[in-house]
Chains A and B, each alone.
Chain A
């Protein structure tokens, strides 16, 4: 549903929820971060061993279940998949490499701007540049091909996994790994995180909120609908942080951030480029995966795998800055995304199909 009032309301509620989650325990400017939270979940189930970023974030569980409930209520839940699945996995993986270079998904980038973190402005410029690069290929006929109807049960499996994770978190938490220090140890109470996720997930599904789409639609269609939500989140986060006393303008000493401008720029440019080819930002992928979209489930699994590898191979940045391994990975990421972009242009695909 495309209503300006709805997207402003969604942006405002998301901005308020994000500030409240930080107030009640989440790391600074990290009320929501899809990349960080998927990474924390990967660590909590033992896919990586970075001791400071391991927690089964209930916000992610809530976002998916909230999105699913709203999709079911609106009769928009449809199991479908088969649109270049492994390409999407790779693109999801690359999105995570870029996000963990910058230290945040595009949503956290907005929340960081809302907290006064000027490094995130550098990230935003990179993000816009990456999306513009993606638009060049979209206009030239880039496609990941059609998606097909799947058995209805397929669409419920991923939300089912989230329910299982929630049950484990509440009933048998000893199965999970929890950080005792660092960002992973900082979190709001489970119920608050879960409810915030449920509400934002439901509203994001209804409004089609997408941080990449907000920029893309302005350049591609001169459509400012999603951008309205994008700006609202930042404005509300600024106001919220000023009220709670967590607004701090500057580059240095920002929470869970580094000041390496070039790699902040390139990290988010990679996220923007890959997200434009995927057709949605990490938040949107999560919400689509809640609607029965298995292509987005594969993308999300790619992001989780990417997060695990980023920490196992020393690719992720920290407050100290970018790592050499991470810099190499971002450059390889750009090469991979360019190859995917060129090889999936419509004309080349037709020639390929003729040879099958």
Chain B
């Protein structure tokens, strides 16, 4: 079971807040689409601190972040 959230265009701290809420459901995998560096940075930092693995791929002006256990 995987979840997806879209944080494109959202400013700090919403991307991390939405990630935090999505992770509260304890998903196997979380897919996040983002479009600014600060959001990617903050989400990655938060998830790593929570003990998750992060895989970020840049696709043009967007980023796909895969969060997994």
Contact = CB atoms under 8 A, between A and B. Distances in A.
Interface string A158-197: 0000000000000000000000000000000000000000
B5 interface: no
Contacts of B55: none
B17 interface: yes
A83 B14 contact: no
Interface in A144-164: 144-149
A295 B11 contact: yes
B12 A2 contact: no
Nearest to A2: B45
Interface residues of B, number: 19
A221 B11 contact: no
B45 to A, nearest CB: 5
Contacts of A1: 41
A221 B9 CA distance: 21
Interface in A224-279: 225, 279
B13 A138 contact: yes
A78 interface: yes
A148 B20 contact: no
Interface residues of A, number: 26
For B13, B36, B38, B46, which residue has the most chain A Cβ atoms within 10 angstroms? B13
B11 A83 contact: yes
B13 A217 contact: yes
A143 B46 contact: no
B13 A279 contact: yes
16 contacts: A1-B41, A78-B36, A138-B14, A139-B17, A143-B14, A146-B8, A146-B9, A147-B10, A208-B38, A213-B12, A216-B13, A217-B13, A221-B13, A221-B16, A225-B45, A279-B11
Interface of A: 1-2, 76, 78, 80, 83, 138-139, 143-149, 208, 213, 216-217, 220-221, 223, 225, 279-280, 295
